[in-house]
Amino acid sequence: MNPVISARGLTKRFGRTLAVDHIDLDIPAGRIVGLIGPNGAGKTTALKAILGLATFEGELNVLGKNPARDRASLMEDVCFIADVAVLPRWIRVWQLIDLTEQIHPGFSREKCLEYLSHTKVTPDHKVKQLSKGMVAQVHLALVMAIDVKLLVLDEPTLGLDILYRKQFYTNLLNDYFDEQRTILITTHQVEEVEHILTDLVFIQDGKIALSATMDEVQEKYVELMTSPQKAEQARGLGPMNERVMFGRHIFLYQNVNREHLADLGELHTPSVADLFVATMKGGEV
Amino acid sequence: MNRLIALMRREFWENKGAFRTTPLVIGGIYIVFMLMAIFTTTHIDNELYTFKEGINALAAQPAEMRALVIGEAMLGSSILFSVVMSFVILFYLLGSLYDDRKDRSILFWKSLPASDTLTIASKLLSAMFIIPAFFMAVLILTHTLMAIIGSLMVLSVDGNPWTLFLSVFNPFKAWGLIASSYLAQSIWALPLYGWLMLVSAFAPRVPLLFATLPPLIFAVLQTWIEFLRTFTLKNNIVGVIGEWLFNSPVILTAEFDDGRGGIALGIPLTKDFDHAVTIANMLDRLFSLQMLSGLVVAALCLAGALWLRHRAAES
């Protein structure tokens, strides 16, 4: 099956800076991909290229289209939430629904109203009367009512309180995601998304630092928690990262013989956040 | 086509105040002034003696004369609508490609499967046709209300409004002329509309400043260089823009210096075109060399606006 997104040598320059530096990337259908990187790593720039919002160098193919040229027709199969605050403030909810219905071929009014019925939002509300969390609910209801192949979420929960954030991802996973659809998420709140991701892409200084499925991550990376006495021995096995927590030394290894490690202490699958920190540190050396 | 209509509805929703409320306010002002005049008359003269005299004097005039007065009054009363409308269009277009960049809702609009070309078209067409349609509709409503109030007044003093003024002039003639002039003006003003949209797509802030400053600076430089060269003050961009305004195919002047109404297209200070209010004179402007060059300017500006819009969400 053709990948939903396929990039070869994707590059974006701002003046002399390379915001995205020759990225190669393939994202197949039916995945939930987390695009994770520090501020200024090029995540949003890469997403903008994918969404046809920015020009770029290199090859980029999204659902068989060149986004820079065919944004309008691409948007029939792609939806995105750029961040929580981009719905026009003057508009009423019923107007948003009307408009999306007339412009988007795959929009279902019933579905949208059904999602909204679980919230406090009414069709007569103006966006500017709603709280940030409610605006996010409206946007999510709109987007989930559209039948598209690719959904792109760029920091979709930024500035929302924890209740809304949990609800947001629960809705997304339960009501929306299926094998036909692909979701691409960037976020700083890695802990919130790591349980729903199927794939992980780390991006640093415009380059891909890691690209793996979550299964591969579990296979490849392991975290060892050990006592200070055994730390020296553990260090000798070439960990990617070391940190100390409550007097215990925690080492993160890549492609290491687990049987050797098991003798030294407890083994865990590392969290995405820890893996991220370790990978970013590795990149700095 | 459905998408274009949807986008134009969006323009109306966003600018309801400017599109609909503004002409209603102007119409309201006319009605209020008329009612105030009536109350003043009845207050001072409760027998309505002078009013009856006035009606008699009017009735004594030949029908053609009455038709002329009514026609000119109808055309002349459109001036306030037209002038305010041009300001509404000015500010609408200046905000058209700027506001959503400023509040970042452009990211939402760009997530819809509507092309940038369609978006720009929806805004330009709103300025060219939707806004004039609202102003025209309210103008007709205002005229109708004024005719009804006037008729009631005439009836109240046992006059016959039908023979006095209703039957002598076909209002559709005036409305047709005004509507045609609005359509002609929408085409005539295209270079300006294109420029405003270009500025709206480009301005990092305060589009009004960016729209007015460059031509002003250019004009000052041009005038200065021209003055150094020829020691005269002619042929500069202010002159070009001024003449463009003077030649507008929309009714802008009402002179009463010769005792009779002098309603004219644009401002009759230039001799390039005939300023009499006729469809032929409107068409004359639209099929002129000036118009052709104006369309070139409009096309360049709109192409620039489209290019900028395409990249508007980049950073």
Q: Which residue of B has its CA nearest to A87?
A: B105
- Of B112, B118, B313, which is closest to A104 when you measure between CB atoms? B112
Q: For residues B204-221, b (16+ Cβ closer than 10 Å) or e, as one string?
A: eeebeebbeeeeeeebee
- Of A72, A85, A139, which is closest to B114 when you measure between CB atoms? A72
A159 with A132: CB under 8 angstroms? Answer: yes
Q: pLDDT by residue (tens digit) across A44-53?
A: 889 999 999 9
Range scoring the smallest mean pLDDT among A49-53, A249-253, B302-306: A249-253
Q: For residue B216, what pLDDT band results from cuts at 50, 70 and 90?
A: confident
Is A284's pLDDT higher than 50?
A: no
Q: pLDDT by residue (tens digit) across A253-280?
A: 888 888 878 888 888 888 888 888 888 8
Is B257's pLDDT higher than 60?
A: no
Q: Which residue is listed with tokens 């701002």?
A: A14
Asked if A72's CB is within 8 angstroms of B118's CB, the reply is yes
Contacts of B63 (CB under 8 A, 6+ apart): B168
Asked if B112's CB is within 8 angstroms of A100's CB, the reply is yes
Q: Which residue of B has its CA nearest to A100?
A: B112
Asked if A87's CB is within 8 angstroms of B105's CB, the reply is yes
Is B256's pLDDT higher than 70?
A: no
Rounded Cα distance, B160 and B162, in Å: 5
Q: Which residues of chain A have a CB within 8 Å of the CB of B308?
A: none
Asked if A74's CB is within 8 angstroms of B113's CB, the reply is yes
- Given its phi and psi angles, is residue B91 left (phi above 0), alpha (psi -120 to 50 degrees) or beta? alpha
- Of B10, B110, B116, which is closest to A99 when you measure between CB atoms? B10
Q: Is A117 on the interface with B (CB under 8 A)?
A: no
Is B270's pLDDT higher than 80?
A: no
Q: What's the confidence (pLDDT) of residue B179?
A: 97
Q: Which residues of chain A have a CB within 8 Å of the CB of B314?
A: 48, 53-55
A213 with A60: CB under 8 angstroms? Answer: no
Q: Is A85 on the interface with B (CB under 8 A)?
A: yes
Q: pLDDT by residue (tens digit) across A54-75?
A: 889 999 999 999 999 999 999 9
Beta strand A182-186 with A32-36 is parallel
Q: Which residue of A has its CA nearest to B104?
A: A86
Residue A49 distance to chain B (closest CA, Å): 9
Q: pLDDT by residue (tens digit) across B142-189?
A: 999 999 999 999 998 888 999 888 888 999 999 999 999 999 999 999
Q: Which residues of chain A have a CB within 8 Å of the CB of B313?
A: 48, 53-54
- Of A52, A90, A103, which is closest to B114 when you measure between CB atoms? A103
Segment A80-89 mean pLDDT: 82
The whole-model pTM stands at: 0.89
Rounded Cα distance, A182 and A25, in Å: 14
Q: What's the confidence (pLDDT) of residue B171?
A: 94
Asked if B108's CB is within 8 angstroms of A82's CB, the reply is yes
Look at B131 and A229; give whichever has higher pLDDT: B131
Is B298's pLDDT higher than 70?
A: yes
Residue B136 distance to chain A (closest CA, Å): 26
Q: Please report how many Cα atoms fall inside a 13 Å half-sphere around the Cα of residue B290, on the Cβ side.
A: 18
A242 with A251: CB under 8 angstroms? Answer: yes
Q: pLDDT by residue (tens digit) across A155-166?
A: 888 777 888 888
Segment A231-239 mean pLDDT: 83
Q: What's the confidence (pLDDT) of residue B232?
A: 63
Q: Is A94 on the interface with B (CB under 8 A)?
A: no
Rounded Cα distance, A206 and A199, in Å: 19
ipTM of this model? Answer: 0.87
A81 with A140: CB under 8 angstroms? Answer: yes
- Of A54, A88, A92, which is closest to B314 when you measure between CB atoms? A54
Question: For chain B, what is the mean pLDDT?
Answer: 90
Q: pLDDT by residue (tens digit) across A149-196?
A: 999 998 888 777 888 888 888 888 887 888 788 999 988 878 888 888
Q: Please report how many Cα atoms fall inside a 13 Å half-sphere around the Cα of residue A141, on the Cβ side.
A: 26
Q: pLDDT by residue (tens digit) across B112-151?
A: 999 999 999 999 999 999 999 999 999 999 999 999 999 9
Q: Which residue of B has its CA nearest to A72?
A: B113
> Which residues make beta-bridge pairs with B253?
B264
Report residue B144 CA to chain centroid gap: 20
A71 with A157: CB under 8 angstroms? Answer: no
Segment B205-211 mean pLDDT: 92
Q: What's the confidence (pLDDT) of residue A285?
A: 40
